[in-house]
Amino acid sequence: MKNNMLEEFIKPVNFNTDKSNGLKEIYNYKSIELEHMHKMRIYLFVELVRDLIKTGVITKFDSAIDIGCNRGLYSKLISELGYKNVLGIDIEESLINVAKQNFEGIEVGKSIKFEVVNAENIDLSTKYDFILCTEVIEHTQNQAKTIENLKSILNKGGIAIITLPNVISFPYILTWISYKLHGRKFDQEMIDHLSYPYYKTINLFKNKPYKLIKTTGTNLFYWHFLHKFPGFNSLNVLNFKLGKLWPFKFFNQYFYIVLKND
């Protein structure tokens, strides 16, 4: 496994593009905008999990699953945050290959593994103490089945962090206006992204066994057109900090919910 990457995403928050600790090589960002949006989500995830551990919400660290693991970074971070056995799954074999190359490995008392698995076809016989499912549900064919799978595989007392895009957000509202003004048609990916206002995400998991513990979010606004200015990093830090506050958290592009199996 690669060396510890957690320190990159522990306060103070820093969005300088020259301090990506290998992220550029792994994710091949096509723009500074994408890099900063990604780093905001990573910072928020690490901060969120560390707070849940500190406050005693997270108490079990035996097993975790990263659903839609992409290139494997979150699985690595989950491992570094204390989970002994981490499984990352994704439907794209090419992404799993990158994840294996960069992060798969077994150490004393710790393992990270990756498999090509569709979120709709998860093995329900294995239970997990922690589930991460970020920007996945909106892209599945059978969303109801995916959600039921998530409920089925969470251990008693386990924690799930689910994220979905939020159509009631400043970035997506601006995107919608831009598409309309330029006469562009929404492709399926954009339609998927525009299908989930934050309250729908909450309602998807309102039934037992899940209990809603926390809501938050990130990427409140865009600053990509100012990336050449010296204050760009400070503006992104402001973006990140404002996005965690009420009521701004309900207008972020990416909406997070934390659930517990009580």
How far, rounded to the nearest angstrom, does the alpha carbon of residue 209 sit from its chain's CA centroid?
22
What's the rounded Cα separation, in Å, for the pair 81 and 91? 25
What's the rounded Cα separation, in Å, for the pair 64 and 202? 22
Output 23 or 153, whichever has higher pLDDT. 153
Q: What is the mean pLDDT of residues 102-109?
A: 89
How far, rounded to the nearest angstrom, does the alpha carbon of residue 146 sit from its chain's CA centroid?
16
Cis peptide before 209 (omega within 30 of 0): yes
What's the rounded Cα separation, in Å, for the pair 161 and 175? 26
pLDDT of residue 63: 98
Cβ neighbours around 242 below 10 Å, total: 15
| Residue in the block written with tokens 């865009």 | 222
Is CATH 3.40.50.150 the right assignment for the domain spanning 6-261?
yes
| pTM (global) more than 0.85 | yes
Flag the least confident range among 111-125, 151-165, 208-222, 223-237: 223-237
Tens of pLDDT along 4-26?
788 888 877 877 766 555 787 78
Flag the least confident range among 9-18, 52-61, 74-83: 9-18
Helix, coil or strand: residue 130: strand
Q: Is the pLDDT of residue 40 over 90?
A: yes
> Over the chain, what is the mean pLDDT?
90
- Cα-Cα-Cα-Cα dihedral sign, residues 250, 66, 49, 211: positive
pLDDT of residue 225: 67
The answer to whether the CB of 112 falls within 8 A of the CB of 104 is yes
